[in-house]
Copies of this chain bind each other. A is one copy, B any other.
Amino acid sequence: MFGAIEAGGTKFVCAVSDEELKIFERVSFPTTTPEEVLEKIFEFFDTYNDIKAIGIGSFGPIDIVEKSPTYGYITTTPKKGWNNFNFLGKMKEHYNIPIGWTTDVNAACLGEYEVGGAVDNDSCLYLTIGTGIGGGAIFNGNFIGGFGHPEMGHILIKKHPQDDFEGVCPYHGDCLEGLASGPSIEKRYGVKAQELETDHKIWEILASYLAQACVSYTLILRPEKIIIGGGVMHQPQILDLVKEQFTTLLAKYVEVPDADSYIVTPTLGDNAGITGGLLLAKNSL
């Protein structure tokens, strides 16, 4: 039996599965204080006594460098109460089993890589466009990262000529996350992204930013597949616009698979993260 935690800035999801990763119970609760959240986590997993390992995919930034003294911490998050929180440590105090630990997007990437859309590939990159923008990548079974985990959502991009928005990233203003996250759309128009019409000009603008990001990821990493998930991608028109603009921007400079199989949405849908958590648990044995 495996356990998984998808630790998001808005909500937590916990699940338990059998050895074939078939989920048989799942709960979800809002991300309040670490104390309250831990209590709910313990309450959920404590009802099982044969969990072999747990995998955690967490919002960040987190420390994933094993030799670091703050390994397992959520580090510099602006989220109240969670700054410098030893999440993995608290879990290990309570459960004496292997616990896998990585970012939320790395976990989702692992889900797609092992049992989702990239199951036939040796590498893939997973990007989420939601409240924030984040990405993770796997090459030959290993997560990309070194001095820490990637923060692919904060890359610099060029402003679209029809966009004069200053961006919402508290660090950089108009980085990718600042210009293309859900909240950036809400701040521009005063309504939630899901309330705008499907032919609103913002989708074209957003797609141009995502296409630029895909070009950078492609030139730097050359993954075999780019998978884009997250709430904003529930707008089905975006994907085609991204593929179109990506193809134009890349100008055939490097070979990529056919755009339709290269830039895709997650096969596992919103389950990519929790599935990845279960795989993390399994792989930690």
Contacts and interface: CB of A to CB of B under 8 A. Distances in A.
Interface residues of A, number: 42
A114 interface: no
A123 B148 CA distance: 11
A219 interface: yes
Copies of this protein chain in the complex: 2
A229 B242 CA distance: 34
Contact of A212 (B156, B215, B217): B156
A61 B254 CA distance: 8
A190 B123 CA distance: 44
Given A142-B139, A156-B216, A215-B156, A222 B147 contact: yes
Given A151-B253, A251-B172, A254-B61, A221 B144 contact: yes
Contacts of A156: 157-158, 212, 215-216, 249
A147 B255 contact: yes
A62 to B, nearest CB: 12
B157 A223 contact: no
Given A139-B144, A251-B171, A151 B219 contact: yes
Contacts of A135: 220
Which of A139, A140, A145, A147 has the most C-beta atoms of chain B within 10 angstroms of its own C-beta?
Answer: A147
Interface string A144-169: 11111111101111100000000000
A224 interface: yes
Contact of A220 (B142, B147, B157, B220): B220
B158 A158 contact: yes
A27 B262 CA distance: 43
Contacts of A171: 251-253
Contacts of A157: 156
A256 interface: yes
A257 interface: yes
Nearest to A75: B255
Contacts of A216: 155-156, 216, 220
Nearest to A145: B222
Nearest to A252: B171
Which of A146, A217, A219 has the most C-beta atoms of chain B within 10 angstroms of its own C-beta?
Answer: A146
Nearest to A249: B156
A122 interface: yes
Given A147-B255, A152-B220, A155-B215, 10 more contacts: A139-B142, A144-B222, A146-B222, A146-B223, A150-B219, A155-B216, A156-B215, A172-B251, A216-B220, A221-B221
12 contacts: A139-B146, A144-B221, A147-B224, A147-B257, A148-B222, A148-B254, A150-B221, A155-B216, A156-B157, A156-B158, A171-B251, A216-B220
